[in-house]
Structures are given as C-alpha cells and as structure tokens.
Amino acid sequence: MGNNKNRLLSYAHGFTLIEVVVTVAILGILVTAVLPLAEVTVKRTREMELRRALRVMRMAIDQYKEDYDQAVKDNHIIAEADQTGYPASLDVLVEGKDWKGLYDFPRKYLRKLPRDPFDEGLGWGLRGYRDAPDSSTWDGKDVYDIYSQSEQTALDGTIYSSW
C-alpha cells in the first residue's frame, strides 16, 4: 500500500514552463488570426446598415414624390410654380403630410430617421432637385437625394459619401 502512495505523489505535479509557453503562443497566434476577421465583420455589418438606411430613406422620398404627383393630378392640391414635389426636409417624412383628401389621414413615410452608422457628427448629406448629382452642397429648397458625409473608405474601395 505504501508503494502505491509514493507512485501517486510522483505523478501529482503542475504544468512545466515549456507547456505554459507553448499554450500561450498557440493562443496568441489564434487571437492574431481572429481579430482582423472580427474587425472586417463589424465593418461589413455597418456597411449593410448604411446601405439599408439609404435605401429606406430614398424609397420614402420617392413615395412622397409619387403622392405629391397623384395629389396634383387628382386636384387635391395645387402645385406652385417653384415646387418640385419633393419633401422640404427629412422631418416631413417622419411628421407626415396631409394631402387634402388623397388619404383619410396625414401620410407618414418613416417612423424615425435612420442613423448613419459612419456618422462623424455631420449628419446626413442632402441634395436638392436642382443640385448636381454629385454635389456636396444643398440648396435648402427640397430633398431629392441623401448620402453619407463620411469620407471613410469602404471594404470595396469606394468612399461612403459616394454611395
């Protein structure tokens, strides 16, 4: 019995320094391989959010214009000479518009304004109907298009403000 006790004591030891160093090295290699992939995944997710936000708001602007045209056609409203039919601001899409009988209620186009996931404190960039397609200034009369003002580069090499 005493012989078995000595054998058990000789096997009861901790990890050697070599085992610990090898384990830490393997973990370090795994971490350096996984972190860049995680960063790319996060950026790709934010890019998908930006594409979705732009699509949703552009569709809302287009629907507003369609309703304006229909309201003019059906004589619910009278078009003024300088009106393009696009919303005066993004807030109109959230607050809603009374089309004087086209609908039984003021029509809302968005529940809330989506945020730009790459916003650097500048907010959304706006373009009016009379602005150039790649203009970075807004005439302040209507909202024809919207874009991100971020100058960061996307994974595909384009600048977010060009989307």
* Residue 91 included in any domain: yes
Nearby residues of 130 by Cβ (< 8 Å), 6 or more positions away: 84, 139, 141
* Residue 83 included in any domain: yes
* Residue 34 included in any domain: no
pLDDT for the residue numbered 8:
53
- Whole domain around residue 124: which residue ranges? 49-162
* Residue 70 included in any domain: yes
* Residue 27 included in any domain: no
Distance CA 45, CA 51 (A): 10
* Residue 68 included in any domain: yes
Q: Which residue, among 115, 114, 137, has the nearest Cα to 126 in the 3D structure?
A: 137
* Residue 25 included in any domain: no
pLDDT for the residue numbered 45:
95
* Number of domains present in the structure of the chain: 1
pTM for the whole thing? 0.78
pLDDT 10s per residue in the chain (163 long)? Answer: 555 555 555 555 678 889 889 999 899 888 888 788 888 999 999 999 999 999 999 999 999 999 999 999 999 889 888 889 999 999 999 999 999 988 888 999 999 999 999 998 889 999 999 999 888 889 889 999 999 999 999 999 999 999 9
